[in-house]
Structure formats: C-alpha cells, structure tokens
Structure 1
Amino acid sequence: MSLNIDQKQVYNENVNKIRDDVYKTKFDEIESMGLLGTYLMVSANLSTFISDVKSDNHYKVIQDIQFHRSLSSLDQYYFHLLDDLETKDEFNTLEKCHDEGHIFVTYHTGSYRLFIQKLNKENIPFCLVTEGDYIKDQGDVTQTLFKKLNNNKRDLEILPAENPRLIFELIKRLKQGISVVFYIDGNKGASNKSLEENKNLLKINFLNNHIYARQGIAFLSYLSKAPLVTALTKRDKDLNNSICLKPVDTLKLINDNDRNGFINIITKKLYGELESFLKESPEQWEGWFYIDKFFQYEDSQNEKLKTKVNFTSDQKITLKINQFVHLIKHSDENMFLVSKKDYKIMKITDFLYETLSYFKTPRVVSLNKILSIRDTSINWSMLEELIEMKFLKSV
C-alpha cells in the first residue's frame, strides 16, 4: 500500500513540474528553445480546422495541448493510474475479446497509452499496428513497459503499417483470436503520391475543413467480419482518466452496402468519433502537431487560371485574403505569416499585418484611388504585389 501511495506522490509531483514548465514559459522564450516553428505550425492547424478559436487565444490553447501531450508520456510509467481508470464498456467488449479477436480503433486523445496497458492488464491477446518511425523511436520503451506491467516474458507484437501484406497478416491474427489495435489518427502511410492522387485515401469532411483518411481499417473490417470497436480516452477537469468503448454495427452496414459504400461509411464514422470529441476538448488531442500531413489546400479552377491578372485603371475589384494565409499577432514585436500550403513562416511588419488583416473581410478597391488603412496610404502597386504573391485574391 505504501508503495502505491509513494508512486502517487511522485506522479503528482511530476504533474506539477510539467504544469510549471508548460504554463510558465513565456512566448518570448519559445524561439530560443527552438519551438517557435512548432508553435506557428500548430496555430496554423488550429485556424484551419477550428476557426472559432481566435488566433489571439492560440498560445493558451497550445499550452493546454502541450500539457496534455506531456501528461500522456508521463502516464505510461505509472501503473496505478489503471486502478483509477474508469472504463465505460456497456457491451462487455473486453470480456468478449478473450474468445474472439476484435479490431480496436483508438485515437491520440487524453491518456491514450493507457488503452494498450488496459488490454495488457486484462490479459487480452492483441497486436499493435503502427508506423515504422514509432517502432524505431518508442518500440523499446513500449516493450519494456508491456513486460513490466504483467511480468510478461513475451514481447508485444508490433506490426509496421507500411507492410504491403499487412492486411493478410491481420486477418490471420484475428482468426487466431488475437485482437488488433490501430491508432487511426497517426498513420500517414507510405506513398510518394500527393494526398489527392493517393487511391488509398478518402477525402472526408473534418471539423471546419477536410482531411485525407486512410481506408485500410474499414477494408480489414469488411474482409474479416471481425467486431469493430472504437476506444476513446479522455481526462476530466481533475485529470481523472476514462475510456469509452463503442462497438460499431458493421454487420448491418455490410448487408446494406457494397464494399466501397461500406468502406466510405465506416471511415467517416471512425473519424466522426474523433471529430465529436474535438468539438468539446480540442486541447486533449496530440494530432494538432501533425494533422497538416493529412490535409492539402486545393486551388479552385478559377484560381489556377488566374496566375496573372491584368486590371484596368478605372476598374473596381473585390479583394480578400487568401485562405491559406494564417496571420498571428502575439505582440507588437511578434507578428507572423504562415503559408498553410507549405508551412513556410515569415516574420512580418505591423504594416503588412494590418494590411492583410483588413482584407479578412472582402473589400471593394478602386484601382485609381489611394486606399487608406489605419491612416496609412496604400497604392495599387503594393496591392498588386500582394496578389501576385497570392496573399490576396480577387473574388
């Protein structure tokens, strides 16, 4: 008992240290820490998918995201958290896993590493599918903790997602009664093609935009007919952990749809679980650090044609800031432009920031008149330059 109390005390001390490290770091310090680029990238991702979070609030939101991300790394070392883990399993899925292999789809939310440890603690046979980079960077730690939790002598089977024969390997495991665990929101897959050209990806609506989602899990579900379950972990305001297991009614969908229809519906449903969670708790998702890998801006056909536009001097046009331009103002000395097409970062002047911000709302401009923005005169040649740089566009 005393060991458990000591473990909890050490854990709480580490949580407080993380809290201090994250929330006492001022914006001016992140550049010297080499974190400015990461901050601006995450800020751009937030603006792409959750527009109602104003950029003025991004620093606080990103601090919250980093706090939860750091907690997730810490939590895996403290097994007492499993004793306090609230498991919502209305259909007794974990019990059924002892008799039949299941497909588990989970996400990088809350204390997401606890799900694997929960399966291990319950002695449920399972394998983990993940990217080769994870195996290289975190595979040894995962194996050490897997063995330590239950005094296991065997290794956890971790299968690389890039394996072209993976689906056949997984069907074999499922038939043997071994469940399969996917972190659906982390696998980028292996392809040199653009997202739009990659036939393994399905373009789906996600929050305020879209992503290109891998369809392999839905395909595995269709071929194997194995039970499909989502597992979503989260924290409450007191940092208590819970996990919710939800079976997906795949049999009815298989009967009512052809293969492609089934795969489309299931893929959207699996990401829909994550989408619903993020609308309530965006700070508890690690994916903000890499969601841009699943997204690309697409020029409309009109924009593709209008690489160079000739305007007449007596013309009036409506200009608007381009959708891929993300502006961030943290202070009068710290203003940035991030291109969400290629994530290039520019530190900009107050003048350029105010000019581009003015065009967040479409504005009618007369080419033969000087434009005044906050008592500063702007001539047409400057606006034309911003159009050529694709910071502004005519609408």
Structure 2
Amino acid sequence: MPTPRTLYRQELARCREHFERVDLQRERGYLMRFTTFSANVENVLPHIPRTEHESLFRQLLLQQIFATFDQQCLTAGDLVKLNGTRTASFAASSPAIYCTYHLGSYRLLTSVLFRQGVDCVLLVGNNMNRSQGDGMVEHIEGLRQKHGLTNSFRIVEAGSPTAGLTVLRELKAGRSLIVYVDGSPETAPEPGQEDQFLSVRFGKRRLLTRKGVGYLSHAAGVPIVPVVSYRQDDLTNVLQFLGAIRPIRQSDREMYCREAMQQLYDAFWPYLNRYPEQWEGWNFVHSFLEPEKFRPHLMRRRMLKPAFNADRYTLCDLEQAPILFDRRLYQTYEITEDLRDLLLNLNSVESVEEVVGQEVFGELVEMEVLY
C-alpha cells in the first residue's frame, strides 16, 4: 500500500503534468509579469544571467501551484521536515512572533503550529485575506476535526486601523503571531507612511520594511522566531526554525526594531540565494526597493550609431499596445508602433535623429533608451 508521502508526491506529479500542458505565453498579462519578475531578479541577484530568468519564472509558477495544493491537503503538514532548535513542544512553549517569508510552501507554518497545539493569530493583508483567508480557515477547521484540536486560530487583517492593538492584546494573552515579514503588494510603502518603515540591507540593495514586528516584540516582551520554508529536490517541504531574536525591555525600542528587522532579512538572504525559484516575493519586491541614484552613461561619440539600451529597457506589448519598460525604475512608457519597430531595427537606419526628430532623439538619449 502506498505511503502518505508516496501519494503526496504522486499528486504533485499530476500538478506538474497539468502545468506543463499550459501555454504560458498565451496567458493574459504573462509578458508584463515575467518582465517585472526578470527586472527584480536582475536588481537583487544580478549574478543570475538574464537567460535563466524565464526558467526561474516557470519554476516559481509551478511552486505556487504546489503551495496551493498543500493548503488543500490536510496531510501535507504531517510530511513537513522540521529543522532547528524550536521544533518540539510548541504547545508548552511561551508565545512568540513567528516571522516567515513567501518562500516555498510558506502557508504550512500555520498548519504545523496549529497542529502542535499553538494558539495562532495570522496577520495578513486585506486582499490576501479575501482571496486566501477562507481557504486557510477551512484548512484549520479540517485539522481541528481530524485531530480533535481545541487551540484557537484567528486571522487579523494588517490594514485594519485596530490591527496593532488587537495583535498586542493577543500576544499578551499568550497567543502566538504568524507574520509574512517580506510583505505583500498591498503593504508596500505609500506617501505619508514613512514613519512606519525602516531601511534594511538586502544584498547590495536596500529595501523598506514595516517595523511593526519589532515594535510588537518589544512592547509585548516576546521573542521573534524566523522560520524559512523551502522545498527540497525530492519535493519534501522543510521548515527551518532559526535562532530567536529576544527583546531587552530596557533597550531603546526604535533601535531594537531596526536591529531585529535587519536580522530577519539577513537570516533570509542565504535561503533566497539557494532557492530563488521558490520566492513569491519576486512579483512585488520592486514596491519595497529603495531607488538607487545612477550616473547617466556618457553617450557614444556622435559619429557612431546609437544602440538600444537593452540592459535597462525591455520592449513588450501590453494589451496590443507597444510598451517600453524601464527595468531600473519600473516605469512603463506607451510608445508608437513606428518607434518600437525603429528601436528593434536601429542597424538598418542611416540616421535615427533624422527619423525621429531632434527633440525625440534628445529625449531618448537623456532617458538612456539610446546610448
């Protein structure tokens, strides 16, 4: 008789077979999604050649399908491999803020903690709650009935005006908080919210991250436990529990928030480098990256023919309209079909400036579309 692990792998194989039959390039919005993904990888992990980006993107889409299946499968949590120091006696341990990332089958952390008897509060964005909240509640209720669990589970929307106070009360009541610390599209910085964010190192870049986790840890006196989820080559899901970050009551709260958030991203960095194809954050990390200041490239001598700056820009069609996408600034410019065709065939033009006119030519050079 097949073991639960064998049956699980068979189901994932079926998911893969179905995925491989889909012509992704015909899917609505695929090109812009991939182009944004590619720009993000290039800006954060520049050592990965652009030629590998599409393969990574396909792997990420498949991993998302696997993760969705895991949320629907009540036995998936029983097959997870637990690594680290804080992997036993969850129910008997004191409350903590479990900080995880959108890597691998990241939803399984909630399933595993609840299965171990932990009273859980899951903090998610409003849109995520509307799209995935019902599925998570259904999964938790399934676990409750299957294993006779009596511990509590609650979802709190991060966008609620009372979210901070609600979560703080829950922590002080002995319940543990689960947070996706790498954010989501709806939790990205907005004008007027500067005091809610901190700047942290992320490889060679810097990004903005909300400091609420550090504040809650310090105010409630509970440790932060980083947890990284990833899927091994044999399809085994792993939850890696890392060393706890413990607040010092008398310490400066702002300094603790800054140090704690930096430690959380430092802890994640090695896993991102090892499993880049499993991080869903590639789809939205550009909303958190701090803009870099660049020196404009010197234009080639006028007697040389200008070339299209493919390192910085990508040409693509969005809803049948030609689009010029700035991979550095994440801006899109709608252009004419004639300009698109010109940029694709610069070598066949004697004088680009004569074709487009002096004003447009100067603008293309200033924007570094041409160099």
> Counterpart in 2 of 1:52?
47
Give 1:95 shift. 1.8
User: Structure 2: 5+ residue runs without aligned partners?
Assistant: 317-321
Deviations 1:56-81 (A, max 9, x none): 22111101111111111111222333
CA distance in 1 between partners of 2:161 and 2:102 (Å): 24
Partners of 1:97 and 1:179 within 8 A in 2:
no
After superposition, residues 38-49 of structure 1 pair within 5 angstroms as 38-49=33-44
Answering whether residue 314 of structure 2 is matched by residue 327 of structure 1, we say yes
The equivalent position to 1:286 in structure 2, one of 280, 290, 295, is 280
Deviations 1:121-143 (A, max 9, x none): 11111111111112211111111
Query: What is the total number of aligned residue pairs between the two structures?
Result: 352
Taking only the aligned residue pairs, the percentage that are identical comes to: 21
Which residue identity is paired with 2:343? L
Answering whether residue 223 of structure 2 is matched by residue 236 of structure 1, we say no
After superposition, residues 183-222 of structure 1 pair within 5 angstroms as 183-187=180-184, 193-194=190-191, 198-222=194-218
CA distance in 2 between partners of 1:323 and 1:208 (Å): 22
CA distance in 1 between partners of 2:199 and 2:307 (Å): 26
After superposition, residues 363-382 of structure 1 pair within 5 angstroms as 377-378=350-351, 381=358
Give 1:249 shift. 3.6
After superposition, residues 10-21 of structure 1 pair within 5 angstroms as 11-21=8-18
Answering whether residue 289 of structure 2 is matched by residue 295 of structure 1, we say yes
SS of residue paired to 2:225: strand
> Counterpart in 1 of 2:319?
none
Partners of 1:23 and 1:63 within 8 A in 2:
no
Cα distance change, pair 169–95 in 1 and its aligned pair in 2 (3 A): same
CA distance in 1 between partners of 2:5 and 2:268 (Å): 30
Partners of 1:98 and 1:125 within 8 A in 2:
no
SS of residue paired to 1:386: helix
Give 1:18 shift. 3.0
Answering whether residue 343 of structure 2 is matched by residue 352 of structure 1, we say yes
User: Structure 1: 5+ residue runs without aligned partners?
Assistant: 304-310, 330-334, 356-373
Give 1:269 shift. 0.9
CA distance in 2 between partners of 1:190 and 1:68 (Å): 23
> Counterpart in 2 of 1:86?
81
After superposition, residues 1-395 of structure 1 pair within 5 angstroms as 5=3, 11-23=8-20, 25=22, 30-90=25-85, 92=86, 94-95=88-89, 97-151=91-145, 156-187=153-184, 193-194=190-191, 198-251=194-247, 258-295=252-289, 297=291, 325-327=312-314, 337-340=324-327, 341-344=329-332, 349=340, 352=343, 377-378=350-351, 381=358, 384-391=362-369
Partners of 1:126 and 1:180 within 8 A in 2:
yes
Cα distance change, pair 202–192 in 1 and its aligned pair in 2 (3 A): closer
Give 1:35 shift. 2.0
Partners of 1:110 and 1:284 within 8 A in 2:
yes
Could you state the TM-score of these two structures normalised by the residue count of structure 1? 0.76
Which residue identity is paired with 2:36? M
Partners of 1:72 and 1:113 within 8 A in 2:
yes
Cα distance change, pair 192–279 in 1 and its aligned pair in 2 (3 A): closer
Cα distance change, pair 192–267 in 1 and its aligned pair in 2 (3 A): closer
Deviations 1:331-352 (A, max 9, x none): xxxx974224344276885762
Higher deviation after alignment, 129-138 or 33-42: 33-42
CA distance in 2 between partners of 1:191 and 1:56 (Å): 29
Give 1:189 shift. 6.0
Which residue identity is paired with 1:352? L
SS of residue paired to 1:172: helix
CA distance in 2 between partners of 1:89 and 1:191 (Å): 31
CA distance in 2 between partners of 1:102 and 1:124 (Å): 10
Cα distance change, pair 149–32 in 1 and its aligned pair in 2 (3 A): closer
SS of residue paired to 1:242: strand
Cα distance change, pair 210–62 in 1 and its aligned pair in 2 (3 A): same
Give 1:175 shift. 2.0
Deviations 1:199-258 (A, max 9, x none): 211122213422211111011112112021011111111111111112324246x66x52
Partners of 1:99 and 1:177 within 8 A in 2:
no
Give 1:147 shift. 0.7
Give 1:12 shift. 3.5
SS of residue paired to 1:233: strand
Which residue identity is paired with 1:144? E
Cα distance change, pair 268–30 in 1 and its aligned pair in 2 (3 A): same
Partners of 1:86 and 1:242 within 8 A in 2:
yes
> Counterpart in 2 of 1:365?
none
Give 1:144 shift. 0.9
CA distance in 2 between partners of 1:191 and 1:114 (Å): 24
SS of residue paired to 1:204: strand
CA distance in 2 between partners of 1:298 and 1:75 (Å): 38
Give 1:21 shift. 4.0
Partners of 2:94 and 2:174 within 8 A in 1:
yes
Give 1:154 shift. 7.9
Could you state the TM-score of these two structures normalised by the residue count of structure 2? 0.80
Partners of 1:117 and 1:146 within 8 A in 2:
yes
Structure (1 or 2) with the greater strand fraction: 1
Partners of 2:66 and 2:105 within 8 A in 1:
yes
Cα distance change, pair 281–156 in 1 and its aligned pair in 2 (3 A): same
Partners of 2:199 and 2:206 within 8 A in 1:
yes
